[in-house]
Chains A and B, each alone.
Chain A
Amino acid sequence: MSSASTRSAYTSFSPGRIWTMATHTVTQLIRMRILVFMGIISMVIVIAAFAFPAVSPEQQLKLLKDWTFGALQVFFVIIAIAATGLLIPRDLEDRTLYTTLSKPVPRYEYLIGKLLGVMLLLGSGLLLMDLVFSLMLYVKQSLIISSQIAALEKEQAATPENIAFIKDLNSRFGLTYSLHGAVWAIFLKASVVAAVSLLISCFASSTLFTILVGIAFVIAGQGQALLREWFLDKMSGFWQKFLSGAIAVFCPDLTLFDIAEPAIRGEIIPLGVLTEVTGIALLYIVGYTSVAYLFFVEKEL
């Protein structure tokens, strides 16, 4: 048609189309009530902040951090698997894939768009949760410092030395940049899990299969480092070695993203470490998505 000239001509790679797929995926997931998860996590954070006033102040801060990071890990990994698992098999089951792919949309753009959409949702969700968490931790920490100083004053021990010590201790166990680094690592972990799920869903035919295999991959991914460091050297049988080797080759090492524990303990996470962890996450995401594409491009619809 004549008016076709006014619109952007077809190109084999279009960020615009990928963005359309991605934002559509976000809308889809949000309308699937995935935000309920965020509500649950927020509740966990608030409860963890104020439910245990009986234990020592340090323990109170630790509990708040433990529960927040525990909830973030569990929920965001679940969201990553479930959201990705729901997308492609569902598009196939519902035959919405036909209408999408009968438009001028290359299959890699479809895949990248879906993954990007899930990552956008994970990222914005984690950002929101980080804000809630930071606020609660800051409030909690300020309350603890003031009550500790009040206690010192009561004991007539509020020397500048002691007050500085308390403030120092609280700032180490309270809100630190390393905690945001740990949230970023959870985002990376969840994104890698999403990429793996995307790969699985390219040869799976059902949502349930994708989710179950995805969970198996996460468990194997948590144990992968162990296999690599420990068992591979010490195992003797051929099949034992073969199986461990296969897991080490096919699974991502998800323990590389477990830096919440030291961050909670008050260790500092250097920027260099975060960069390296981000690099390996990118490698996983690009790698698994490329393999997913090679499987998906031949999929008969």
Chain B
Amino acid sequence: MDAPSPSASPTPAVTVENLTKVFKSGFTKKPLLAVKQLSFEVKAGEVYGLIGPNGCGKSTTMKVMLGLLKATQGRATIFGRDSEEVASRQDVGFLPENPYFYKHLSGRETLNFYGRLCGLRGAELKDRTEAMLELTGLTHAAERRVGGYSKGMLQRVGLGQALIHEPRLLILDEPTAGVDPVGSRRIRDLILELKQRGITIVVTSHLLEQMQEVCDRVGIMSNGRMVSEGKLEELISVENQTELILQDAPPELLAKIRALVQEAGGKSQVVSEGKPRTTLEKLFLQSTTQTGDGE
């Protein structure tokens, strides 16, 4: 799998232009405005995070990008193709939230089925299926019916089917929801690996923290609108503060630094001082050795 560099494809991977989606359900209920005048663009090769609370319109936006829903106004394109065209789906792999598959199929049959739908046949289909089983660590469970899979395993089959036809764009809806920290870590590692290969990724999450380290850019949605968008560092860095972390510093040195700050005068002041803490997640990852393969 040789990856073209992000710059090789000048057309943006995704554009969403003035997207508005209104749901009309039933005769008595009021129409529900899910997305309003939303616009954003995802460049090829980028990892883009769409973040926001539940019900903010993230999933609706994704479904429009996949042609599962029709836009009330505006449009979305995938590599220049209108998302309502079926052909635009050739370049997309989609992992839905809490994916669910045909219980009667085994893991291998599931991947085979989706591969065939994407036009894969014969030796290529076989190779891709095996490659996906390996990538997602499901080779040992390939013959088991999906009905007996755990949540994490379903997530991995979902990832396998999304990638089976080597799409240029991967859309992940809440990939880490309901997955334990080990699984979550693996998914984030995988996102980074896929990014290395040049695959564009759009990922939604309501768990902001987890997206920090993988996203190049994020868009924050609320009530169907984009409230903030940009590079992650820009969004989260506090412009007028500076962090300084010291190791093995004696109390005298710290006192000197405090004195220096006071001497400098002006607006400079020490806001906080203390010992950095490891995150609970890191602690969890350090103290659990479970790989997740044995599920």
Contact = CB atoms under 8 A, between A and B. Distances in A.
Nearest to B94: A102
Given A1-B1, A7-B120, A301-B68, A99 B63 contact: no
Interface residues of B, number: 38
A59 interface: no
A95 interface: yes
A21 B141 CA distance: 24
Interface in A1-56: 1-4, 6-10, 12, 14, 16-17, 20-21, 24, 27-28, 31-32
B70 to A, nearest CB: 7
A161 interface: no
Nearest to A24: B113
Interface centre among A24, A104, A298 (most CB of B within 10 A): A104
B96 interface: yes
B100 A94 contact: yes
Interface in B91-110: 92, 94, 96, 98-102, 104-105, 109
B166 A98 contact: no
A6 B124 CA distance: 9
A298 B69 CA distance: 8
Nearest to A17: B117
B104 A32 contact: yes
Nearest to A301: B68
Contacts of B119: 7-10, 14, 16-17, 104
A104 B87 contact: yes
A100 interface: yes
A7 B96 CA distance: 25
Given A99-B94, A105-B86, A301-B69, A1 B166 contact: yes
A98 B94 contact: yes
A99 to B, nearest CB: 6
B101 A99 contact: yes
A100 B118 CA distance: 10
Contact of B114 (A7, A31, A99): A99
Interface in B146-205: 158, 161, 165-166, 168
Contact of A4 (B70, B98, B113, B166): B166
A103 B158 CA distance: 13
25 contacts: A4-B165, A7-B124, A7-B165, A9-B119, A10-B90, A12-B86, A14-B119, A24-B102, A27-B105, A32-B104, A98-B94, A98-B96, A99-B94, A99-B96, A99-B99, A101-B66, A101-B68, A102-B89, A102-B94, A103-B89, A103-B117, A104-B86, A105-B89, A106-B86, A301-B69
Q: Which 4 pairs, one residue from A and one from B, show the smallest C-beta to C-beta distance? A: A31-B104, A102-B94, A1-B166, A20-B116
